[in-house]
């Protein structure tokens, strides 16, 4: 989906710390229930393998199918585990996903970038095979800073508009991604649970904050926020003593049992 290896490495610690532990445990338990001690897991948009590294300690015998369209990222991801096979695929082509024999499909920081039609088609394919779905760290539209600034709300609103604009798969769901996924899977009889998984960043995260704020300002500026450069300057100058919360949601969808 166009993420750089440097950005993925910078955010991995925050991602792993933010995942809701209870929902992660339920996803692990479901994978074991369906697939036994060695379930087969397919990770959509795997990047460098962050999801694999987050779950591997809990599913050490799992076999992974890693899907991405970037060969360099795939190579790095596949090196994360012995039981990992890379698949270079365009996520727009859901028919090309290697779903046969899969027990759990995972994704991280993806559902805010996809379209409603894409989610519908994915849910149809997973439901036909009774495959569980675990999607973590979907941006939910909520950002806050301490101390706050007068233009935080305007920047957040502009960023959210940008999140709902055209992306590689079409007009993205942005902050509505998790609820759209809930609706699609529940319509097919799945039991769906969600949990908050926010980033909470502070002075120890100045490098991540710097890259994040630059990205937020760039997107907000593209969406019409003329004050984005000034907001960025203020946020960068304050990051050594400030904190921020970036909202995310995790989702687990479990197929109906016979």
| 227-247 average pLDDT score | 96
List the domain boundaries for the chain.
Answer: 5-143+172-202+245-254
pLDDT at 81: 83
What predicted TM-score, i.e. pTM, was given to this entire model? Answer: 0.96
Read off the pLDDT of residues 173-197 as tens digits, 9 standing for 90 and up: 999 999 999 999 999 999 999 999 9
Nearest-5° Cα angle at 97, 96 to 100: 115
Question: At the topology level of CATH, where does 5-143+172-202+245-254 sit?
Answer: Rossmann fold (3.40.50)
């Amino acid at each position: 989906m166009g993420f750089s290896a440097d950005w993925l490495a910078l955010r991995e610690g925050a991602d792993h710390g933010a995942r809701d532990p209870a929902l992660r445990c339920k996803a692990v338990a479901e994978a074991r229930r369906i697939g036994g001690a060695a379930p087969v897991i397919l990770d959509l948009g795997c990047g460098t393998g962050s999801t694999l590294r987050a779950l591997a300690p809990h599913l050490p015998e799992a076999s992974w199918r890693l899907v991405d369209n970037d060969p360099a990222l795939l190579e790095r991801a596949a090196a994360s585990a012995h039981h990992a096979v890379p698949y270079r695929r365009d996520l727009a082509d859901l028919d090309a996903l290697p779903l046969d024999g899969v027990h759990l499909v995972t994704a991280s920081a993806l559902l805010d970038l996809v379209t409603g039609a894409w989610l519908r088609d994915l849910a149809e394919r997973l439901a036909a095979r009774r495959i569980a779905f675990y999607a973590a760290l979907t941006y939910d539209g909520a950002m806050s800073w301490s101390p706050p600034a007068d233009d935080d709300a305007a920047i957040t609103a502009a960023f959210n508009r940008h999140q709902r604009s055209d992306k590689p798969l079409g007009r993205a769901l942005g902050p509505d991604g998790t609820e759209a996924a809930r609706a699609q899977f529940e319509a097919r009889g799945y039991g769906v649970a969600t949990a908050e998984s926010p980033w909470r960043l502070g002075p120890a995260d100045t490098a991540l904050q710097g890259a994040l704020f630059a990205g937020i300002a760039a997107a907000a500026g593209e969406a019409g926020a003329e004050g984005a450069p000034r907001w960025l300057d203020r946020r960068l100058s304050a990051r050594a003593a400030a904190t921020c919360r970036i909202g995310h949601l995790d989702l687990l969808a479990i197929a109906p049992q016979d």
